[in-house]
Amino acid sequence: MTSVERTGLLGAPLDEVWPVLADFAAISSWAPNVDHSCLMSDQDTGVGTIRRIQVGSTTILETVEVWQPRAALSYRISGLPPVIRSVTNTWRLGASGDSTLVVLTTEVDAGPRPPQKLIARAVGRRLGAASDQMIAGLDAWVRPKRIRQGEDR
């Protein structure tokens, strides 16, 4: 398994960041690399919530596996090529004064053999770049709200 970790310090407090992540269907409003998103489950919060996202011509389903308000959100990603056994994204959040520390970990399993591990590393690099875009997009989404309110100087 390959694990890729990205971090960011967002310009808004945890109480403003968590609701954005928790609005699971709305990722396309702040993640620049997601073209469309919608719920595929009746529930809209908590473990078992499912969303469908469109990234270019690729359709992906994401199913929540961990839901810890203000602390962690983890979801399994399905719909990737069959050579990938599993992919999971885990967001971990922590308060840092008026900011929020975000750690986004992507775990990719393509299998135990050396060629499969190479595939997992390549996919991990690509998803790591996508994670950087999501963290930057989340920061850009929550930060302007604070600037409009005159709180970010």
> pLDDT of 85-116, one tens digit each?
999 999 999 999 999 999 999 999 999 999 99
Give me the pLDDT at residue 145, please.
60
Q: Is the pLDDT of residue 153 over 60?
A: no
Sequence-ordered alpha helix ranges (H) in 6-150 = 14-22, 27-30, 114-148
Q: Is the pLDDT of residue 152 over 60?
A: no
Whole-structure pTM value? 0.91
Quote the CA–CA distance of 90 and 106 in Å, as a whole number. 6
Quote the CA–CA distance of 90 and 113 in Å, as a whole number. 25
Q: Is the pLDDT of residue 68 over 60?
A: yes
Q: Is the pLDDT of residue 7 over 70?
A: yes
- Report CA 35 to chain centroid distance, whole Å: 14
Region at 48 (left for phi over 0; alpha for psi -120 to 50; beta for the rest): left
Quote the CA–CA distance of 55 and 60 in Å, as a whole number. 8
Structural contact between residues 109 and 86, judged by C-beta atoms closer than 8 angstroms: yes
| pLDDT, the chain, mean | 93
Contacts 24+ apart (CB under 8 A), 96-100: 96/9, 97/13, 98/12, 98/13, 98/151, 99/9, 99/10, 99/11, 99/12, 99/13, 100/9, 100/10, 100/12, 100/13, 100/14, 100/16, 100/17
